[in-house]
Structure 1
């Protein structure tokens, strides 16, 4: 997952100074999971620049039938049973609702290390929580379906509204952005 974050940050640094609304990563192949202690993996970044309309990302559906609330502590506890022990900064999902293969959640952006993380477009803990949301779509806490580590081998597409993150970092409200 961190290699995906690295690709996102590489894209962001290449377009530095430009008014970019959307960063889209496609056809991501994750050969081996990278932990922060391992050396960086080899990868290639292909970048294209184009115009994006006002509504950069698709809207969230108004209503999804069958959504069930999930207690965040129960979810994190079930993850810890298989060795995914998240530290405090990585345990910030809340308002989790799920049905089979679909989840919504919210979070506060993690606090940042003034020296390093503030420069990142998306804090690594926040990026990891996006993948935690996928785990919540896959299983309900302690239902038996989550019995080992599941790490993505590939991701079809990730879209990041760069304008929204930049507005949040500057202290402004991203009203009107999707």
Structure 2
């Protein structure tokens, strides 16, 4: 079982990415997933969260993730907004972060104790491939490095989910996957 928590900013597609992750796992990997978005008074630019549980057996839980195995940060500036992305994390929790800034990545490591970090400039991947600052597909590509989902499943789910712009989003996911590194 993998417990994943997405942290993003309204408008980046974090909640949509969580739903697409469930599709990728369920339909393209023949595993099971459940997504539980955390809604409050959302507006563009406000912090948003989504919780995903993935397993090779049916997921019988329908709850938030309180002790994540993987934390996915869609915007490196969440740390400056007072969002505690380290809440409930253990020394084994993996961080997947949208950042190319070494100082910021180190700050996340130092502040929250992440030992394993996958970093990718998903914003750049989105801009190059879809022309918009919506890094959700690219972040799913980066997330594939954690082992929770296969990149082929991500590309298939993203391509199917986004209709006319599905192919561009699939390219953003692949580009991000190819440009993700362990930090």
TM-score by length of 1: 0.27
Relative to its length, the structure with more strand (as a share) is 2
Relative to its length, the structure with more helix (as a share) is 2
